[in-house]
A and B are shown apart, each in its own frame.
Chain A
Amino acid sequence: MKKKVISGLLVASMLAGMTIAAAPVMAEDAEGSVLNIYCWNEEFKSRLTDHYPGYEEVDATTGKIGDVTVNWNITPNQDNAYQNNLDENLLKQADAAADDKIDLFLVEADYALKYVDTEFTAPVTDLGLTEDELADQYQYTKDIVTDGNGVLKGVSWQGCPGVLIYNRAAATEVFGSDDPATVQEKVKDWDTFKATAAELKEAGYQVAASANDMFRVFSDNSSSKLVEDGKIVVSPEIQQWIDLSKELVDAGEVGTFDLWSDDWNKGFYPDGKVFAYFGPAWLIDFCMAADTEGSIAHDGGWAATEGPQGFSWGGTWICGAAGTDNPTLVADIMRQLTTNPEIMKDIVTADNDFVNNKTVMEEMAADESYGDAVLGGQNALAMFCAGADKIDRSTMSSYDQGYTEELQKAMKDYFEGNATYEDALQMFYDNLMVKYPELTVAE
Chain B
Amino acid sequence: MNNSKGKVVRYNKWGYIFLIPFIVVYVVFQLIPLVSTIYNSFFENYRSGLTQVGPNFVGLANYAALFSGGKIWIYLKNTMIMWIMGFIPQIVISLLLGAWFSDPSLRLKGQRFFKTVIYLPNLIMASAFAMLFFTLFADTGPINSILMNLGILSSPFKFMSNVWSVRSLVAFMNLLMWFGNTTILLMAGMMGIDTSLFEAAQVDGATSTQIFWRITLPLLRPILLYVMITSLIGGLQMFDVPQILTNGTGQPAETSMTLIMFLNKHLFSKNFGMGGALSVFLFIVTGILSLIVFRINSVGNKD
The chain A residues found within 8 Å of chain B, CB to CB, are: 79-80, 87, 90-91, 114-115, 117-118, 120, 255-258, 261-263, 266, 398, 402, 409, 412-413, 416, 418-419, 423-424, 427, 430-431, 434-438
Contacts and interface: CB of A to CB of B under 8 A. Distances in A.
Interface in B100-146: 135, 138-141
A114 B139 contact: no
Interface string B237-276: 0000000000111011111000000000110110100100
Nearest to A402: B268
A419 B269 CA distance: 27
Nearest to A416: B161
Nearest to A415: B161
Nearest to B47: A87
Contact of B253 (A255, A423, A436): A423
Contacts of A431: 265
Nearest to A271: B140
A437 B161 CA distance: 28
Binding site secondary structure of chain B? loop
A42 to B, nearest CB: 23
19 contacts: A114-B50, A118-B49, A255-B139, A261-B138, A263-B139, A398-B49, A409-B249, A409-B251, A413-B251, A413-B253, A416-B158, A418-B251, A418-B255, A430-B71, A434-B265, A434-B266, A437-B271, A438-B48, A438-B53
B69 interface: yes
Given A118-B49, A262-B138, A418 B268 contact: no
Contacts of A262: 135, 138, 140-141
Given A431-B265, A434-B265, A263 B252 contact: no
B163 interface: yes
A268 to B, nearest CB: 13
Given A398-B49, A434-B268, 16 more contacts: A87-B50, A90-B50, A114-B50, A257-B139, A263-B138, A402-B268, A413-B254, A419-B252, A431-B265, A434-B265, A434-B266, A435-B269, A437-B48, A437-B53, A438-B48, A438-B53
B50 A437 contact: no
A75 to B, nearest CB: 16
A402 B265 CA distance: 12
Contact of A258 (B141, B247, B268): B247
A231 to B, nearest CB: 15
Interface in B19-67: 46-51, 53
A91 B270 CA distance: 14
A90 B141 CA distance: 41
Contacts of A115: 50
Nearest to B71: A430
Contacts of B265: 431, 434-435
Nearest to B274: A437
A257 B138 CA distance: 10
A436 B252 contact: no
Contacts of B49: 114, 117-118, 398
A58 to B, nearest CB: 32
Contacts of A436: 48, 269
A268 B50 CA distance: 38
Contacts of A430: 69, 71
A436 B158 CA distance: 31
B203 to A, nearest CB: 60
